[in-house]
Amino acid sequence: MDLTASLLTFAMFWKLSWSLQCYTCNPEHETLPCLSFDYSSKYLTECKLSTMCFKKVTTLEFSQGLTSESITRGCASQTANGEQRRINGKWRAVQDIHEVYEETCSEDPSNSERSPNTMYCYCRGDRCNGSQQILGSLLAFAAVIILGVLS
């Protein structure tokens, strides 16, 4: 019995200690706006209900070549509100994590013909949504778009 209790305790803390860490910032919140994002630990969040981080970049183009960019970072939403399962004869709320995203960057297809342009990037691994790898993917995507427009 002591072995069982020890294993259960270990399993509980092991799960907690391996939570994903993502950078979190939002242009709509004054406390941690992405405008002053600096890769510091104050922007880190434990993602207990997610296996992926995200970064959303929205670009609005104005006349005369001027642009405005808005960035949001956080834990990818991978749970569904209101999910229930019958457990021991009673319906209980559950929070299952669903794998619904690919580890890539892609443009929002609903915005393809108009401004603003929105790019969604999803990645796995601690702090991946602040990495230069995502920035590199965004730059490569922007180059493809520019070449397509110039052709």
State pLDDT tens for residues 105-129: 998 877 556 678 899 999 999 999 9
Q: DSSP for 127-140, please give it.
A: TGGGSHHHHHHHHH
Query: Is residue 5 in a domain?
Result: no
Angle value at C-alpha 33, between 143 and 22, nearest 5 degrees: 75
Query: Is residue 145 in a domain?
Result: yes
Query: Is residue 98 in a domain?
Result: yes
With bands split at pLDDT 50, 70 and 90, how would you rate the model's confidence at 50?
very high
| 135 Rama sector, left if φ>0, alpha if ψ -120 to 50, beta otherwise | alpha
Query: Is residue 118 in a domain?
Result: yes
Domains identified in the chain, total number = 1
Which of 52-56, 101-105, 131-135 has the weakest average pLDDT?
A: 131-135
Verdict on whether the full-model pTM lies above 0.85: no
Alpha-carbon span 134 to 76, nearest angstrom: 15
Residue 101, number of CB atoms within 10 A of its CB? 19
Query: Is residue 7 in a domain?
Result: no
User: When comparing pLDDT for 5 and 93, which is higher?
Assistant: 93
pLDDT higher than 80, residue 56: yes
Alpha-carbon span 58 to 69, nearest angstrom: 6
Work out the widest C-alpha separation in the chain, in whole angstroms: 73
Mean pLDDT score, 5-25? 65
| 131 Rama sector, left if φ>0, alpha if ψ -120 to 50, beta otherwise | beta
pLDDT, one tens digit per residue, over 59-94 is: 988 888 888 889 999 999 998 877 788 889 998 888
Q: Which domain, by its residues, includes 111?
A: 21-150
pLDDT of residue 109: 73
pLDDT higher than 70, residue 4: no
**E strand intervals along the chain:** 20-23, 44-47, 53-61, 67-75, 84-87, 90-93, 105-107, 117-123
